[in-house]
Amino acid sequence: MFEQIEGSRAVAKAVALCRPEVVCAYPISPQTHIVEALAEMVSSGVLSPCEFINVESEFAALSVAIGASATGARSYTATASQGLLYMAEAVFNAAGLGLPIVMTVANRALGAPINIWNDHSDAMALRDAGWIQLFAEDNQEAVDLHIQAFRLGEELSLPVMVCMDGFILTHAVERVDLPTQAQVDAYLPPYSPRQVLDPAEPVSIGAMVGPEAFMEVKYLAHAKQMEALRLIPQYAEEFRAIFGRPSGGLAHAYRTEEASTIVVAMGSVMGTIKDVIDEMREAGHAIGALGITLFRPFPTAAIVAALRGARRVVVLEKSLAVGLGGILATNVRMALAALPIDVYTVIAGLGGRAITKRSLHALFRRAEKNDLDSLTFLDLDERLVARQLAREKERRKSGPVAENLLRDVGVIAARNY
């Protein structure tokens, strides 16, 4: 049923339709509305039986989920930013133990400086923790991916992170087609764990493993992720059959036919990019886009197939590998290594910097003329950077960078939107 609904609430409703048995949460913006809505549903009995546990930290949130999942309960939590880092040890642990926890990451920047706005630094920091990582383009996809995540994770005994852009999606109120319980039940079978803590059949989970078998355990985790590459398109197809709309999958190509330039991105910025692509196509530009839904495992073959015909690829990403450049771009470059395609890295939208159509138009036109550096920071205030660099050159005790820059920027309320 179509509803005009906040992204967080829509996701909470979708999660509830998946009948989680244990939900644990620690508040952090911009994830909070999701678990607040779930708390309401547990409290009112709409979601029952389900244990909602208010924990003392994100580390505990995921640890509770680990215990619950190992006991055979379908377990869910949500976090963002510093919260994801605070639970990092448990993030790796859940994957290593093979527990199919589903976790929403309401993507947000990492401090310092502290910043509550959106970028992908949090999920990227944990990209190699062994979780499947899905990125939602809009709130409809966020809803759909959560339902697919439980199915996928439980089939493979792997945890799944569903990433949705903080504020941009979590706090956006838009039209979402919310599935019925019958649809979700038809799609998502009850959780049948491969390992469970049960006195009837005692097992030890989490034993120490030495050099004699550790590599093999890790290899199997990798092999499972490779298996996900095969299962995800299949599950997306089954999803379409039951829910009547395409959703999920590895990556989505948009007007890439005959495109000499293809823009690659993840998450909500794809919407803005598509609008720009339409306008540029209208003006005769041979440009298209590829939205990557699945970041881990990295769908190399699908990406090569989608980008093969392009002359250049512009990877626009909301994350920065400091000292290297792009993260998504590095992965795309690796996928395209054997092909004669120029790859440009564009770092954009860090800490909530708006990615505007105007900037994208200019950027893509420069790319078409091969007038881009291999690494570009979109809408970087170079004057601001230069001032700070000058200050640091001028005196040793130049002070805290963030404070200096804010002073240089001046009153921000006047341009707060």
Q: How far is the CB of 142 from another protein (least distance, A)?
A: 13
Alpha-carbon separation of residue 235 from 110, 148, 185, 347, 400 (angstroms)? 33, 7, 14, 32, 50
Residue list 29-58, contact with another protein (CB under 8 A): 29-30, 48-51, 53-57
Q: How far is the CB of 66 from another protein (least distance, A)?
A: 5
Could you tell me the smallest distance in angstroms from the CB atom of residue 116 to another protein? 5
Enumerate residues 145-174 that contact another protein by CB under 8 A.
Answer: 165, 167-168, 171-174
Q: Pick from 44, 45, 199, 410 the residue near another protein by CB under 8 A.
A: 199
Least distance in Å: CB of 69 to another protein?
7
Secondary element (H or E) of residue 262: strand 261-265
DSSP code per residue over 110-168: -PSSP--S--SHHHHHTTTSS-EEEE-SSHHHHHHHHHHHHHHHHHHT--EEEEEETTT
* Contacts made by residues 201-210, CB under 8 angstroms, sequence distance 24+: 205/70, 205/97, 206/97
Map residues 113-142 to x or -, x wherever contact with another protein holds by CB under 8 A: ---xxx-------------------x----
Pair of tokens at residue 297: 């495992």
| Residues within window 78-117 making contact with another protein, judged by CB under 8 A | 89-90, 93, 97, 116-117
What tokens were used for 131?
């979780």
- How far apart CA 316 and CA 184 sit, in angstroms, is 34
Residues within window 251-290 making contact with another protein, judged by CB under 8 A:
268-272, 274-275
Q: How far is the CB of 414 from another protein (least distance, A)?
A: 5
Near another protein by CB under 8 A, which window of 72-80, 152-160, 290-298, 321-329? Answer: 72-80
Closest CB to another protein among residues 107, 298? 107
Residue with smaller CB distance to another protein, 50 or 315: 50
Exactly one of 15, 17, 28, 65 binds another protein (CB under 8 A); which one? 65
* Contact set for another protein, span 285-324 (CB under 8 A): none
- For residues 94 and 320, which CB has a smaller minimum distance to another protein in the complex? 94
Closer residue to another protein in complex, CB, 201/257 = 201
The C-alpha atoms of residue 360 and residue 378 are separated, in whole angstroms, by 9
- Tell me the closest approach of the beta carbon of residue 86 to another protein, in angstroms: 11
Q: First CA to last CA across the chain, in angstroms?
A: 33
Please give the biggest Cα pair distance in the chain.
72
Report in angstroms how near the CB of residue 138 gets to another protein at its nearest.
7
Output the CA torsion 126→129→130→134 (10° steps): -10
Residue 75 interacts with another protein (CB under 8 A): yes or no = yes
Smallest separation (angstroms) from another protein to the CB of 325:
24
Q: How many chain residues are in contact with another protein, going by CB under 8 A?
A: 78
2 three-state secondary structure: strand
d(CA 171, CA 80): 14
Looking at residues 203 to 222 of the shown chain, list those that interact with another protein (rule: CB under 8 A): 203-210
User: For another protein, which stretch binds (CB under 8 A), given 19-27, 146-154, 233-241, 312-320?
Assistant: 19-27
Q: Which of 59, 239, 295, 298 binds another protein (CB under 8 A)?
A: 59
Q: Using alpha carbons only, what angle is made at residue 356 by residues 353 and 360, rounded to the nearest 5 degrees?
A: 115
Length of the chain: 417
Closest separation in Å from C-beta 386 to another protein: 25
d(CA 65, CA 177): 28
Among the listed residues 73, 162, 263, 313, the single contact to another protein using CB under 8 A? 73
Considering only residues 351 to 390 of the shown chain, the ones binding another protein according to CB under 8 A are: 352, 354-358
**Shortest approach of another protein to residue 41 CB, angstroms?**
14
Stretch that binds another protein, among 2-10, 119-127, 295-303, 400-408 (CB under 8 A): 2-10
Block residue for tokens 């999701």: 34
**Beta partners for residue 135, in sequence order:** 163
**x-or-dash string of contact with another protein, 169-188, rule CB under 8 A:** --xxxxx-------------
Least spacing, CB of residue 140 vs another protein, in Å:
9
Measure the CA–CA gap between 176 and 7, rounded to whole angstroms: 8
Task: Tell me the sheet residues that pair with 175.
Answer: 4
The amino acid sitting at 338 is: A
Q: Which of 368, 162, 167, 175 is nearest to 266 (CA)?
A: 162
